[in-house]
A and B are shown apart, each in its own frame.
Chain A
Amino acid sequence: MLSKLIKHELRATSRPILPLGAAMVAYALLYRLLTALHLTRQWPNLDQTLAGLGLTFFVLLMAACGLIGTFLLVSRYYHSLYTDEGYLMNTLPVTPGELVWSKLLTAFLWSVFLTLSGIVAVLAAAAGTATFREVVGGLADAIAQGWQMLRFDPPLRAVIVSELVLLILLSPLAGFLRFYAAISLGQLMRGHRLLGAVACYFALNFAFSLAAALLMMVTGGLGVNLFSSVAPSAAVAVAWGYALGIVVVEGVVYFLISHWGLSKKLELE
């Protein structure tokens, strides 16, 4: 049933999300075309102003698409499970866990799509320019240097790369789950459910930041000893492992809250 839920969830969310990715890439191509044609080269002041405005708008567009996409994916959870559409979704013969997973995996897939669209847009806008070559060259150097640092210890290198990949994959999942958990807790506040969800989001954020800070204080001495006694690369592995652990714990707690909200506290008005 999970695959069917994801199929219909992708269909439901594709209409608002696909145009966001298309808008970023289309604007980038237009921007690159206009800068290549250089139509205003005879008026240097106007030329620079237009180039600046075009770039500023591009950055704003990228940020707006990211924010709107996140908002649409988060609000989808609320609308499809806790409003009129909830009468359809919550009477399907599926488990609450399958409902949460379907929303989460769909949101993750769309966030990957938006990220890739953003990368393609940047590459398209900068392709062939000197800046592009500098940025790509700088990035390649940074990766090569990082790899060089880890060359003496292949097992540790595998650990660090694994941690990095897992952090990149799990952080957005935990981020979406935090929104879902806040929405679920907000449902407990009759009459002010959306306001309650916003308050719960900040409360969850604060609670986990506080817990992480307290844990850091408790284990701080251990960390100092570790950093002074082992190689820097090992210390990086420990630090990233710590961050990964926090993300995993956060994700599990938020998932359990979201599941509990659908299985034990569902109260459709």
Chain B
Amino acid sequence: MEPVLECSRLVKDYEHTRALAGVDLTLYRGRIVGLLGPNGSGKTTLIKLAAGLLQPTAGEILVAGRAPGRETKALVSYLPERTYLPDWMSASQAVEFFSDFYADFDAAAAMDMLGRLAIPLESRFKALSKGTREKIQLILVMSRRAQLYLLDEPIGGVDPAARDYILQTILSNYREDATVVISTHLIADVEQVLDQVIFLRSGTVQLCTSVDEIRAEHGCSVDAFFREVYKC
């Protein structure tokens, strides 16, 4: 099976820090992967490199066999940790925007989800709450039939009820041959949907294994195992 994401000796340096220190990683299709690690472990950097928003210092990162570029951006659906839709835009304009640029965008599915959440379609984003804007972004990202979803802290800033909705949205919308990478600190909340986890520490992959293996070998949940591994 062709990998959807490959990293080979991937290094990323910022001005005074090394965010990724030689990451070797291969992700295959049809998985929901938790990208886990403490603050500063390199989760966001790895996702941004895959999305083509950063350039590697050394090594290589490939999405569906290609370096990040126009072709891979058509395959990747990326949800950043911040609100990135412009203030002047409305939800209906955002749907039109995604329809124009992404051939795999399902506008009907997006409108259906927006309608079920009773999100005002014509209100400008600056008039909406941060939580509502985050839900709109998630709906737009998950309404694509992408090959790789990169979700950076999708449940970080929302209440527990909204977390359930977000996880349900992810589960009910991704294609079975697609891979979903979820970066988060809130392991207990996402654990039930994960097939595989990657533990990052100081820019290196400390562990890449299936959730079932962790439970079988260590006899505990991923959350408990994470706390053990990263105990201060």
Task: Give the interface of A toward B (CB within 8 A).
Answer: 1, 4, 7-8, 11-12, 15, 80, 84-88, 90-95, 190-191, 264-268
- A95–B70 CB distance below 8 A: yes
- In contact, B55 and A266 (Cβ under 8 angstroms): yes
Contact B82 A268 (CB under 8 A): no
- Of the residues B51, B54, B70, B84, contact of A84 by C-beta under 8 Å: B84
Q: When the two chains form their complex, are residues A266 and B70 in contact, meaning their CB atoms are under 8 A apart?
A: no
Chain A residue with minimal CB distance to B14? A190
Q: Which of B70, B82, B88 contacts A87 (CB 8 A)?
A: B82
Q: CB distance B15 to A268 under 8 Å?
A: no
**A residues near B73, Cβ cutoff 8 Å:** 91-94
Which single residue of chain A is at the shortest CB-CB distance from B71?
A: A93
Partner of B102, one of A7, A87, A93, A265: A93
Report the minimum CB–CB distance from B225 to chain A (whole Å).
32
Task: Please indicate the chain A residues that have their CB under 8 angstroms from the CB of B51 in the complex.
Answer: 91
Check A4–B53 contact: CB distance below 8 A.
no
Number of interface residues of B (CB under 8 A): 26
23 contacts between A and B (CB under 8 A): A4-B100, A8-B97, A8-B100, A84-B82, A84-B83, A85-B85, A85-B86, A87-B78, A87-B82, A88-B86, A90-B52, A91-B52, A92-B73, A93-B70, A93-B71, A94-B73, A95-B70, A190-B15, A264-B55, A266-B55, A267-B54, A267-B55, A268-B54
CB within 8 Å of A: which residues of B?
14-15, 48, 51-55, 70-71, 73-74, 76, 78, 80, 82-86, 88, 93, 97, 100-102
Asked if A94 and B70 make an inter-chain contact with CB atoms under 8 angstroms apart, the answer reads yes
Interface centre among B71, B84, B97 (most CB of A within 10 A): B84
Residues on A with beta carbons closer than 8 Å to the beta carbon of B84: 84-88
Report which of B53, B82, B88 forms a contact with A91, defined as CB distance below 8 A.
B53
Complex: A184 Cα to B209 Cα, angstroms: 41
